[in-house]
């Protein structure tokens, strides 16, 4: 199931602040129409209600590669190795904290990716197998 939330966006053109629904979580086995958008880094498309300027937000998205036991956090803003390691550590602490996650975590691989090319490769491989 696709998980969404509402966020505030500031238009780069007219500076208007508006609210938009964005994607936080995607399940590849259920959201096939989104696959192409994710691959091009354009999953979160927003449009200014005033001047109609279209923007693509650089937000993090959690992608579930079911039935592969793989969960990817794609975040184009995580450029440094230490930032990625911090995210991995907080993921591990969530798993350690929660019994249900501990069960899932044991058999699920978690990856943090900031490079859209790497994400594309993963999704292309997934599509060959399951789509
Ligand atoms: Zn605008």
Quick: pLDDT tens for 118-131: 999 999 999 999 88
pTM above 0.75, yes or no: yes
Question: How many domains does the chain divide into?
Answer: 1
Q: What is the mean pLDDT of the chain?
A: 88
Quote the domain boundaries for residue 116.
Answer: 3-130
Q: Assess contact for 55 and 12: CB atoms under 8 A.
A: yes
Distance 19 CA to ligand 1 centre (A): 12
Distance 51 CA to ligand 1 centre (A): 4
Average pLDDT value for residue range 5-30: 94
Q: Output 97 or 85, whichever has higher pLDDT.
A: 85
Distance 57 CA to ligand 1 centre (A): 14
Q: What is the pLDDT of residue 40?
A: 81
Distance 56 CA to ligand 1 centre (A): 13
């Amino acid at each position: 199931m696709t998980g969404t939330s509402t966020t505030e966006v500031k238009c780069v053109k007219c500076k208007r602040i508006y609210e938009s629904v964005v994607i936080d979580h995607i399940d590849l086995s259920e959201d096939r129409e989104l696959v192409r958008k994710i691959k091009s880094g354009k999953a979160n498309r927003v449009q200014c209600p005033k001047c109609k300027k279209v923007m693509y937000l650089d937000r993090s998205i959690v992608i579930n590669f079911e039935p592969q036991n793989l969960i990817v956090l794609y975040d184009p803003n995580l450029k440094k190795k230490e930032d990625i390691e911090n995210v991995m550590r907080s993921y591990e602490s969530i798993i350690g904290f929660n019994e249900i996650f501990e069960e899932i975590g044991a058999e699920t691989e978690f990856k943090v990716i900031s490079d859209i090319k790497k994400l594309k490769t993963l999704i292309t491989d997934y599509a060959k197998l399951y789509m």
